[in-house]
Structure 1
Amino acid sequence: MSARIDPAARGRGTAVVLAVVVLWPMLVLAEFKPWRLFDAGSLDVMAGFLSGFLPPSTAPDFLALLGRATLETLAMATAGTALAWLLAVPLAMASTQALSISRIGPARGLVLGRAARAGVRGALVFLRAIPEVVWALLFVRVLGLGPAAGVLALAITYSGMLGKVYAEILESGDTRAARALLEAGSGRRAALMYGLLPGASQELVSYTVYRWECAVRASVVMGFVGAGGLGQLMDQSMKMLNGGEASMILATFLVLVLLADALSGLLRRVLA
């Protein structure tokens, strides 16, 4: 009895070959040489560097600064995400086809509706194309050092990210209820609230919390350019070669990420 041949084997093999053909030049251009990490000299350098992080600093003065920096980071991430959400919701409503009234009539508004959605999507591309750290550098020059620059930088970049993903989530679900409401004369807000959100709320909330978690990480990075928070404190500790303080900052950052993950799970269970 001959062995059975997987009918999808040829397609999978072709996909693997194409992936290798495309990936290999990229790895060469990126000078990806992971085996160098295991050279004797590299291992000695990494061991010496990591040993400087132990033990974590528990000095009272430093812990007070760490607490303040943690609150600044949380405030920056939360305020930036909240402002981004306020911008993203109307942009997502304007760019999604599921809430397009022009698609159901009159016909003369179809072209104008498509042009408007294309313009909004172009704006979303622009907002998310420029990294938040670039905006942070600009706002630090305008507003000075501090978390205010980070809040504005996060609000601009994350509004583009949230708006794009919100629109895709709303369009990927069952849109028949929203279309029926629009055809019956309902407005976009009612179609969104009663036609789309019941089936997409979990995914929307989960992605929003995930983006807030990303905002916490991004706020740490922006701290290196003067936007305050844990990043600025980390920059000072690294410049002073104080590994104990740096390891405590990293541990605090890990706790924040774990809390964000727990919050996401809790909200998903509440909305289930």
Structure 2
Amino acid sequence: MQLSGAGQPPRDPAALPRLLLTCLALLVLWPGLVLTEFRPATLLDPRNLDIFSRFLAGFWPPDLSPGFLALLFKATLDTLAMATAGLVLALLVAVPLSLLSSHALSVSALSNGQPSYLGRLLRYPARLLLIVLRSIPEIVWALLFVRAVGLGPTAGVLAIAITYSGMLGKVYAEIYESVDRRPAQALLQAGSSRLAAFCYGILPAAAQELTSYTLYRWECAIRASVIMGFVGAGGLGQMIDLSIRMFAGGEVVTILLTFLFLVLAADQLSNLLRRRLA
């Protein structure tokens, strides 16, 4: 901080660079807004506001009839089961691939500070597979599996498992490499196996971050399972699709409130486990 004069407030020396970066970001953003025909002023058009207000009025009050709540409860269980089963299957693929693609347990990296060329070459197929798995969105996989296995949650489970295995594997490998690897190095030098070095040298330091990211991905899987319901994967998404088609606004609000409760519950569970592992 520098003083611009006697009695004057200090001047921030980083103000000009921040201003230039802001102007540069706006210049980069502007072509994208033009290409997407982004016009916020249309939201304030009186005719659009009237149509939107009448549309929202049809969403109240929520539908709390016993028959609808029974269907909603079953769809909620389907959504949770789809997200949980898909994530568990993704973990079965992601954990081995993350260990294969990470150089956290590389003997050459721990001893010389740099993994060997052969080690990098052997890890490349695992990294490439993780890229392939996460490059295709889960909604595309769901469309393909609906054709293969028919309508229902099975298509959603398989779609989540494939896409999320690539995401989890990539982030897990980066978490392994970000923690202090000196305990694992000491275990390897003492003659321990790589699996034992991982379980006792790396996993304790990475457990909190791994748990946090896994629960975040479970929350994302819940949201994804709702979206995939629109293509026939069942659950809350399929109920929302049917309710919107029938212009049943009260049912849509009840489903959205249920979905909000699921996300809040997942967030609270994540906070609880993080405090336990802290």
TM above 0.5, yes or no, is yes
Residue in 2 that maps onto 1:110: 116
Residue 28 of structure 1, CA deviation: 1.5
Residue 12 of structure 1, CA deviation: 2.1
Which moves more between the two structures, 203-212 or 168-177?
168-177
Q: What is the SS of the residue equivalent to 1:58? A: coil
Q: Give a deviation string over 1:122-174, Cα, whole Å, max 9, x none.
A: 11111111010111111111111110111010000000011111111221221
Residue in 2 that maps onto 1:31: 37
Match of 1:54 among 60, 84, 87: 60
Structure 1 residues 176 and 11, CA gap change in structure 2 (3 angstroms): farther
Q: What is the SS of the residue equivalent to 1:13? A: helix
Residue 188 of structure 1, CA deviation: 2.4
The aligned runs of 1:150-161 (5 Å cut-off) are 150-161=156-167
Residue in 1 that maps onto 2:19: 13
Distance 2:170 2:274 in 1: 21
Residue in 2 that maps onto 1:180: 186
Residue 17 of structure 1, CA deviation: 2.4
Distance 2:17 2:173 in 1: 32
Distance 2:93 2:247 in 1: 41
Q: Give a deviation string over 1:211-241, Cα, whole Å, max 9, x none.
A: 0000000000100111110011111111111
Residue in 1 that maps onto 2:218: 212
Residue in 2 that maps onto 1:120: 126
Structure 1 residues 96 and 207, CA gap change in structure 2 (3 angstroms): same
Distance 1:174 1:105 in 2: 14
Where does the alignment leave 5 or more consecutive residues of structure 2 unmatched? none
Residue in 2 that maps onto 1:198: 204
Verify: 1:72 aligned to 2:50, yes or no.
no
1:261 partner amino acid: D
Residue in 1 that maps onto 2:153: 147
Query: Do the aligned partners of 1:104 and 1:183 also contact (CA within 8 Å) in 2?
Result: no
Verify: 1:240 aligned to 2:249, yes or no.
no
Distance 2:12 2:93 in 1: 49
1:148 partner amino acid: T
2:51 partner amino acid: V
Residue 181 of structure 1, CA deviation: 2.3
Q: Give a deviation string over 1:17-68, Cα, whole Å, max 9, x none.
A: 2212211111221222222211111211211111111111112211111110
Match of 1:250 among 233, 253, 256: 256
Q: What is the SS of the residue equivalent to 1:135? A: helix
Query: Do the aligned partners of 1:98 and 1:179 also contact (CA within 8 Å) in 2?
Result: no
Residue 11 of structure 1, CA deviation: 2.9
Query: Do the aligned partners of 1:237 and 1:246 also contact (CA within 8 Å) in 2?
Result: yes
Match of 2:51 among 37, 45, 48: 45
Verify: 1:130 aligned to 2:136, yes or no.
yes
1:55 partner amino acid: P
Distance 1:27 1:99 in 2: 45
Q: What is the SS of the residue equivalent to 1:97? A: coil
TM-score by length of 1: 0.94
1:96 partner amino acid: S
CA RMSD for the aligned pairs? 1.7
Distance 1:186 1:228 in 2: 48
Match of 2:95 among 89, 92, 97: 89
The aligned runs of 1:224-235 (5 Å cut-off) are 224-235=230-241
TM-score by length of 2: 0.92
Where does the alignment leave 5 or more consecutive residues of structure 1 unmatched? none
